[in-house]
Amino acid sequence: MDRRNIGSLEVSVVGIGCNNFGRRMDDASVDAVVAAAIDEGINFFDTADMYADGRSEELLGIAAGDRRDEVVIATKFGGGEKRGEQPMIEYVRERCDASLARLGTDRIDLYQLHFPDTDVPIAETLAALGALVEEGKVLEIGCSNFTAEMLREAEAASADAGVRFVSVQNHYNLLQRGEELEVLPTCEELGLAYLPYFPLANGLLTGKYRRGESPPEGSRLAGNRDRASSLLSEANLDQVERLTALADESGHSTVELAIAWLLSRPALASVIAGATKVEQVLGNARGGSWQLSDAELAAIEEIAPA
């Protein structure tokens, strides 16, 4: 599988999003998915301290086991626990140490600020993260849910802090393309790697949701009526049906098309798609090896324009 860079890290163009570890997946399922991913050449795993109240990190660490040096582990902080009045440097070190313990590792390859903390100057957050880098607990740092303006502010503060964000992880997929207006051009300008979350639009781009049918039992939208009614609109379903037909013509699945399209975008480093089964890992990997032709890209643009 092809690899791209996130700072000094070399990651597979398809990664595994671990938000279902410990939530919709038990220990055995996690072990199987992680093993299959590594065997397919996928080395990038993205989790967070808030996923399943830390259980996701624990299961990922166990599943990686003695293959830890074959993988790049990314996790996030600042999404669940409230910092309160605790100084940022203490808070960041405490969260990092807790993640290291759950992961059972001596370093976090990519440590990401999950959500902006508007109560703290970004320079202070960068300084706290820089201390972790100096200690060897963290190799690279990134952010998530940042606007273009926030990215520029962080870049300006990085000179004094001595460290800089090398990546940003935001919401982006074929059906939700607002990131193309400002964030993606800013990433290109600043040399930041971009990581899209919800790359399959909460499962809409898997093709599992059908017009006039209730979401399949056990699916992401089955237990969320409000999100289902928003995503399963006639316009969205029409686009998905046309994208599925286009993928079928090329001998691929809708998932593979969605992943391949993302990897054609500027600044994209890795598509961290969730997988609860081994067959989903294999399907995601196939998407990473499909290079869309100019004609296919034009057809996709006609179906789902920005």
Residues marked as catalytic:
51
The answer to whether 16 touches 281, Cβ cutoff 8 Å, is yes
